[in-house]
Amino acid sequence: MNFIKKIIQSRSKDDEIFFAEIQKVLGYKPNKLRHYKKAFTHSSLKKTASDGKPLNYERLEFLGDAILGAVIAHFLFKKLPMGTEGYLTQMRSKIVSREHLNEIGRDLDLIRFVISNVPKKNFGDNIHGNVFEALIGAIFLDKGYKYAVRFIYRVVIEPYVDIERLEGKITSYKSLLIEWSQKQKRKVKYDVYEDTGNDTSKHFSVKLYLDDDIISKGRATSKKKAEEIASKRAYYRLQSQIALQ
């Protein structure tokens, strides 16, 4: 007991505040706070351990992504005994899509924990999903797989996973649009160009052509996201035609 008291007393005031806040998110007391602190350390700080290894959330993000995918796959395997491999893969992709993970990360307000040399207003949307995955990796290292499973069920599966709703959810408007155009023998073209404008960070703009006509535009911090934005706008413009295929 005295040993535990010494550990608690050795924490800085900032660590005590972080411990209390992260405990609310986790639903339990963390053992090794360093894993959770690392989960919110941005690479822009260029922090390294004594052995020279980088101290940021990127490797934890990789680990958390793998654990999340495994837990969701196991859940779907049990929940949908008649589901084919292709169907199960599609459903898993919808649950662990970047858009969905960003939504969960925002709901948990994980960005408040991030320490970085980059102003938070300059972060892209993916920071929310990235640190969420890193947090799962930290849970696994600190408490093991069972705790990671409990956390994923509590914050992902129970509040967000509705099979019927997910069956109708579109995960890629670009893929849907291209598939539709191929069936209709129509040509879709994306004209992407760099468009920094007045922003400090690099942006890309895209013009989406259907045959020879521009039907939508998109702008974002990556080519992929700009294309998806333009595709989503095109989808809603063409929705009545697409629904008739």
Q: Annotated catalytic sites, by residue?
A: 65, 133
52 Rama sector, left if φ>0, alpha if ψ -120 to 50, beta otherwise: left
Q: If you ran DSSP here, which 8-state letter would residue 155 be given?
A: I
Q: Please classify residue 235 by burial: count the beta carbons closer than 10 Å to its beta carbon, then call 0-12 exposed, 13-18 middle and 19+ buried.
A: middle
The secondary element (H helix, E strand) that includes residue 46 is: none
Secondary structure (3-state) at 48 = strand
**Residue 102 main-chain phi, psi, to 5 deg:** -60, -40
Amino acid code (one letter) for 41: T
CA distance 56 to 189: 38
CA distances from 24 to 19, 20, 110, 113, 156 (A): 9, 7, 12, 13, 16
